């Protein structure tokens, strides 16, 4: 059953110029929802009241296409259609403020998915962000802990078929008790599901699940 209607009238919505809209629940405050619009606006909404508690705009202007929080919700990452990731930090006073804007991909490469993971030292040893984009690859970036918080640096990339569709990728859950099993799974426009081992030096998929009738958009 529907528990909350956030925008009852069309005029309450920002101007939308594409179907790309991203939504994320806050990981430690289920009452807070973040909505990214193609107009470049981010709305932070209190689900109990239905009211916007914060509104901010991507600068430079771009369409919001993907969102991801860190594990506590202290950092928020917003991907856009210009190949950039904007990082926001909770200021402790009720607002998220911009810390850095990173051009992670060419400006004609829309980001389609962001996914965060906090790996323990036996794996990558640092918080990481996977970035799916229309550049025939899925990429992993290390999240730097120094100021400005949320800064990104390239870690590794893997080739997949991804030029036009809204493909998603995710870090896998850790497997077993020995600390191993740091993996990445991605859909692909060739109908395959690609599984990569982040702890291996090889850049090719360890497993490709085939036989899907069309593009695999999400995993």
pLDDT digits (tens, 9 = 90+) for 102-129: 999 998 899 999 999 876 444 455 789 9
pLDDT recorded at residue 86: 97
CA separation for the pair 199, 176 (Å, rounded) = 15
Which of these, 86, 52, 92, lies nearest to 72 by C-alpha position? 92
Q: How buried is 146 (Cβ within 10 angstroms: 0-12 exposed, 13-18 middle, 19+ buried)? A: exposed
C-alpha dist (Å) from residue 192 to 6, 145, 159, 219: 36, 35, 12, 11
pLDDT digits (tens, 9 = 90+) for 126-168: 789 999 999 999 999 999 877 788 999 998 999 999 999 999 9
| Single pTM value for the model | 0.87
Buried b (16+ CB within 10 A) or exposed e, 34-45: bbbbbbbbbbbb
């Amino acid at each position: 059953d529907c528990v909350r209607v956030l925008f009852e009238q069309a005029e309450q919505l920002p101007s939308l110029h594409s179907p790309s809209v991203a939504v994320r629940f806050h990981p430690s405050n289920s009452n807070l929802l973040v909505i990214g619009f193609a107009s470049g606006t981010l709305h932070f909404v209190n689900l109990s009241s239905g009211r916007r508690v914060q509104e901010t705009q991507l600068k430079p202007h771009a369409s919001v296409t993907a969102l991801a929080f860190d594990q506590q919700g202290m950092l928020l990452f917003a991907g856009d259609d210009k190949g950039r990731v904007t990082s926001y930090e909770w200021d402790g006073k009720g607002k998220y403020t911009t810390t850095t804007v990173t051009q992670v991909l060419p400006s004609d490469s829309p980001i389609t998915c962001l996914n965060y993971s906090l790996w323990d030292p036996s794996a990558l040893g640092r918080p990481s962000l996977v970035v799916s984009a229309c550049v025939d690859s899925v990429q992993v970036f290390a999240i730097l802990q120094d100021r400005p918080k949320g800064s990104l640096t390239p870690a590794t990339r893997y080739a997949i078929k991804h030029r036009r569709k809204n493909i998603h990728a995710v870090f896998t859950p850790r497997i077993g008790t020995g600390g191993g099993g740091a993996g990445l799974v991605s859909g692909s426009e060739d109908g395959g599901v690609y599984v990569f081992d982040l702890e291996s030096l090889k850049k090719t998929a360890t497993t490709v699940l085939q036989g899907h009738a069309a593009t695999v958009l999400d995993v």
